[in-house]
Structure 1
Amino acid sequence: MENLTMDNMTMENDTLVHDNQTTLGVWTDYTNEYKVVSVFLVSLICGMGIVGNVMVIMVVLTTKHMRTPTNCYLVSLAAADLMVLTAAGLPNITDALHGQWVYGYAGCLGITYFQYLGINASSCSITAFTVERYIAICHPIKAQFLCTLSRAKKIIMVVWALTSVYCVMWLFLSDTEKLVYDNVVLLSCAYKVSRTYYLPIYFTDFTVFYVLPLMLATVLYGLIARILFLNPLPSDPKNSTKKWKKEANQGGRMVSTCSSSSTTAASRRQVGHCLFIISALSMIVFGAV
């Protein structure tokens, strides 16, 4: 009788627990075709992005003449893209294979933090690069004093320090959650509180790291395009250089004219290549996310 009573109490407790928990239905695992295709595509995109960004960083760090202010910003952008590709790629692969979060509580906090840090640092790096290019092209004289290697390194350090501190809040806003199905209980990395409380955070991120940089880049690149349209590059640099030297000698301004003209011309040629690199890296990041 005692055993029957204990069994009845256990069954009643299990029934109460089951009734108090809202299940999500019956969970079915992903098909093998889905696993193969998703793992292949994510590995391909993230692998190409990781290899490309590592090459950018290695080339700039190992080649002395490549250590320019512009390339410093590109290294910062490459490092941010590497962070996003790694933090976003690994969870996608393991989710396709296992169907749940496998990195635990610490992994949930760390990966969420690095995802947002990489995205925000990437946006700030592009903004700093845009301002640097604007100064170099539209104000070449000032660029000789403002767009220096040491200043670029300091700006990059400030960018990463501020974004690192800003993203600390995600360590307190993320948490693991158990998804209760009828046939299994799975672990998920999710929000710590209701998603309605995250609207101000998302709005702030969208404004600070997307809308404002986009508006600033639109204005600055519009001014750059105006300069390039009104002052096209000479067809024959040698003849133009001789002409500039002759005119500068007559006016007594040879050094300043030649240096500013050569700086402006080099900056105009360089901005096209840098914009292409930024576009490619951004496509890789958004494709991975």
Structure 2
Amino acid sequence: MLDSNTTHFTNPSTFILQGIPGLEAAHVWISIPFCIIYAIALLGNVTILLIVLKEPSLHQPMYYFLGMLAVTDLILSTSTVPKMLSIFWFNSREIDFSACLTQLYFIHCFLKIEGGICVAMALDRYVAICHPLRHSTILTNSMVTKIGLAMMLRGGILSLPYPFLARQWPYCQTNIIPHTHCEHIAVVKLACADIRVSSYYALSVALFLTVLDVFFITLSYAQILRAIFHLPTKDARLKTFGTCTSHLCVILAFYIPTLFSFLTQRFGHNVPLYYNVLTANMYLLMPPMLNPIIYGVRTKQIQDRLLRFVSLRE
């Protein structure tokens, strides 16, 4: 193989994923928690999806959105972790140029879809609490399908410029990506060109969608809290608010790691590179692992179906 530090090219056939720079000697040990997190994410989300699909009583908007979230988490984690583990275990660092851009697209697309599903779940909680008698007429199966398609289109269309812009830049001198996956900025920084279009587009879309999603979620919960405070008894208020806790935990599990990674990437110039890489992996891996646990622990209907399934297997 030619020395990637001196070879010049404009359209690389492959990139080299470095893994976690500075921690290469510990890759095998680092792979253990990553593998456990991925296994929990796979098992949890497949279980949630099967329960929602097979149990007729769960064919309701909230559980449809939960099924969408499970599918999104499965795709998001599977698009990154297998290649990551192959780097840690087999030192398989090469990734085809087109495959790298495809992975980049899938990451951004399904992160945006997941954010949209959080908004859809907030809408469901708002209608269920503020307009309970109209819930079934507002959130019909047709409406839920349209919301799901809108979230997919939002993620798919807004993420298309990422790989298209990255493909048009000329690359030279090195094809080594200091990351475990094809992270957008890490890829375009290798280009021998002015990449401000890519950088500004990524930043503006991230800020716009985050502000928009948080605004609608906040607006929904402001109305929800207003309705809860008008309930006559404390028990009624606590019970009603309890129906929102799973969704609130999912929101925190999604936005806190994402915000933390965004801030370290943009402003943590004195932070070690391996720290930025680890935080970027956490915001991709933690929500897929935590979401099924949150809903499995906090949602009685899912607990009951899971216990029934386990008892039948015995």
State TM-score, norm by structure 2: 0.63
Counterpart of 2:207 in structure 1 is 207
Contact 2:7–2:173 (CA<8 Å) still a contact in 1? Answer: no
Counterpart of 1:253 in structure 2 is none
Listed as ranges, the gaps of 5+ residues in structure 2 are 10-17, 258-280, 287-314
> Structure 1 residue 62: deviation in Å?
1.3
Listed as ranges, the gaps of 5+ residues in structure 1 are 1-13, 22-26, 238-263
Distance in 1 between residues matched to 2:141 and 2:240, nearest whole Å = 15
Counterpart of 2:243 in structure 1 is 270
Matches within 5 A, 1:117-196: 117-175=109-167, 180=174, 186=176, 189=182, 190-191=187-188, 193-196=193-196
After superposing the two structures, state which structure 1 stretch, 56-65 or 32-41, moved more.
32-41
Selected match of 1:288 from 276, 285, 288: 285
CA shift in 2, pair 1:233/1:82, >3 Å: farther
Q: Deviations over 1:239-289 (max 9, x none)?
A: xxxxxxxxxxxxxxxxxxxxxxxxx99975533344345555776972628
Q: How many residues align?
A: 237
Distance in 1 between residues matched to 2:7 and 2:105, nearest whole Å = 35
Distance in 2 between residues matched to 1:101 and 1:170, nearest whole Å = 22
Counterpart residue identity of residue 152, structure 1: V
State TM-score, norm by structure 1: 0.68
Q: Deviations over 1:171-197 (max 9, x none)?
A: 3133596764xxxx8577512554433
Q: Deviations over 1:35-93 (max 9, x none)?
A: 11221122122221222112111111111111110111111122222222122323432
Counterpart of 2:79 in structure 1 is 87
Counterpart residue identity of residue 47, structure 1: A
Distance in 2 between residues matched to 1:20 and 1:286, nearest whole Å = 34
Structure with max Cα Rg: 1
RMSD over aligned Cα, in angstroms? 3.7
Counterpart residue identity of residue 283, structure 2: F
Secondary structure of residue in 2 paired with 1:103: strand
Counterpart residue identity of residue 118, structure 2: I
Counterpart residue identity of residue 34, structure 1: A
Matches within 5 A, 1:241-260: none
Distance in 1 between residues matched to 2:68 and 2:232, nearest whole Å = 31
Distance in 2 between residues matched to 1:77 and 1:87, nearest whole Å = 15
Contact 1:49–1:281 (CA<8 Å) still a contact in 2? Answer: no
Contact 1:136–1:143 (CA<8 Å) still a contact in 2? Answer: yes
Moved over 6 A (4+): 29-32, 264-267, 281-285
